[in-house]
Structure 1
């Protein structure tokens, strides 16, 4: 699994301008099962994404498609880890169209 930590590089007006495209990027990656959970950091200085899988090169390619990264508005820190315990029922991949409702 991967914990993706986004840090905004630009001002929030630039982030807000790119937000619709970033949300589309998130939607695509939820649909294909890559992303499992996401949300903004508090205070609003970036975001956090939980991603499944074990292929770091693939995750790097996915990150490179984020409009925030393409426009230089955010950078990512990638932490790879092995989940050994969870209160959430594990799944190999999220089902297409899986719920992305907020908690």
Structure 2
């Protein structure tokens, strides 16, 4: 499996607030299924970051496009394959 960092920059604050519950449900579901390694918001309100665990960029993008924030126009997205370096990663 590869890791893909999906940056989700803020596009519309009101839409983000409105669709936050569905977005969090989406993240929790895919985290439990193993498709998401980590996720969180930026403290400055600029958006958030989701680390997807998939075989290909296309699979990661397919998941990103299913995120309610992206589907409803609350956030843009930018995806990069990510090579995490950590002594704790297995």
Please report the TM-score for the alignment, with normalisation by the length of structure 2. 0.87
**Distance between the aligned counterparts of 1:44 and 1:86, measured in 2?**
27
**Distance between the aligned counterparts of 1:81 and 1:22, measured in 2?**
22
Stretches (4+) displaced over 6 A? none
| Structure 1 residue 49, shift from structure 2 partner | 1.2
Higher strand share: 2
Instruction: Extract unaligned runs of 5+ from structure 1.
Output: 91-103
Residue in 1 that maps onto 2:86: 86
| Structure 1 residue 45, shift from structure 2 partner | 1.4
Q: Who wins on radius of gyration, i.e. which is larger?
A: 1
Residue in 1 that maps onto 2:4: 2
**Distance between the aligned counterparts of 1:26 and 1:86, measured in 2?**
23
